[in-house]
Amino acid sequence: MRKFLIVTADDFGLHEAVNEAVEQASRAGVLTAASLMVAAPAAADAIRRARKLPDLRVGLHLVLAEGRAMLAPDLIPGLADPVGRMNDRMFVNGVRFFVFPALRRQLEAEIHAQFSAFARTGLTLDHVNVHKHFHLHPTLLTMLLRIGRDFGVPAVRVPHEPVWFAARSGNWRAAAGAVLLGPWIALMKRRLRRARMLHNDRLFGVAASGAMDEAKLLTILARLPPGITEIYLHPAALSGGAIAESMTGYRHAEELAALLSPRVRAAIAAGEFGHGGYTDLRSDRSL
């Protein structure tokens, strides 16, 4: 089994400073993919830039918590507040999704609306992932797979981060979480395999979200294992609260600097692995 690396920027469309970073990093050759928030404030600018970046693979970043909804608030009153924003109470909402059929119908409508919005961009859909990895919830994963099938979803991200990386980052809470989520991750992978859905073998970026600097990228590249590895970042030309109130501790500009680093580019160039997006893997039988 050979090695393949996907380097993704999440939150594409959240802010023009994010979009600028995606464009710079794509042109530099390290960033291979971006996940688009179709209802975010700068989505139109992101789409315009993406159309000029032939080497950038673009996927859908489904937002079902802590973000703006696609549908009008009166159509999804159980999901969004009167101004169309969904809250971040993921545990509570996850329980509600199990209990209330009417809420599940609203959730399904919002997922469909975001897929439809992506389809209207005319961009080729490279992958789907979910903000805050909310598709660990089995109900959301079921809906994603069922609705996504109609839109030709080629791949779904699995948030499986190796424990060694969380521990090395000093985030012992994340390391413990990675262990506890093990059974859920295994279940997700089984369901994706049954659905014949392409997915990554592992993911880096959870424990060090907002702090994926040059040193961390070089560490990952030096230990890249066989299979499909995705590294995700949140690069931007500005940092912290300038991008979003919930990201006051994020070092977006440092993550952009890591993607532009000559040392990172050299490590990728010297590595004996493929480098691209999920759609570049469709015909690859060695993984």
pLDDT in tens, 229-258: 999 999 999 998 888 888 898 999 999 999
Between residues 264 and 90, the one the model is more confident about = 264
| 211 vs 183, higher pLDDT | 211
Q: Which of 21-25, 187-191, 224-228, 281-285 has the lowest mean pLDDT?
A: 281-285
HSE (CB half, 13 Å, CA atoms) of 177? Answer: 12
pLDDT at 265: 95
Residue 89: pLDDT above 70? yes
pLDDT of 179 over the 70 cut: no
pLDDT at 42 over 60: yes
Reported as a pLDDT band with limits 50, 70 and 90, residue 134 is confident
Average pLDDT, rounded, for the chain: 91
Q: Spell out the residues 6+ positions from residue 180 whose beta carbon is closer than 8 angstroms to its own.
A: none
Return the structure tokens found at 72: 């009008």
pTM higher than 0.85, yes or no? Answer: yes
The two tokens of residue 203 are: 């993911």
How many angstroms separate the CA atoms of 207 and 163, rounded?
Answer: 9
Q: What percent of the chain has pLDDT over 90?
A: 74
The two three-digit tokens of residue 219, written as one number: 């560490």
Of the given ranges (21-25, 30-34, 168-172, 214-218), which has the lowest mean pLDDT? 168-172
Range in 99-103, 173-177, 205-209 the model is least confident about = 173-177
pLDDT in tens, 58-88: 999 999 999 999 999 999 999 999 999 998 8
In sequence order, the 6+-apart residues with CB closer than 8 A to the CB of 144 are 62, 111, 128, 130, 135, 153, 156
Q: Tell me if 243 sits within 8 A of 15, measured CB to CB.
A: yes
| pLDDT at residue 169, as a whole number | 61
For residue 287, pLDDT over 80 is answered with no
Task: Note the pLDDT of residue 94.
Answer: 82
The dihedral region occupied by 228, where left means phi > 0, alpha psi between -120 and 50, and beta the remainder, is: beta
Q: Which of 63-67, 116-120, 182-186, 198-202 has the lowest mean pLDDT?
A: 182-186
Kindly list the distances between the CA atom of residue 120 and the CA atoms of 22, 106, 150, 160, in Å, as whole numbers in the listed order: 21, 21, 14, 31
* Residue 202: predicted pLDDT: 95
| pLDDT > 70: percent of the chain | 94
* Helices 101-121 and 138-150, packing angle to 10 deg: 40
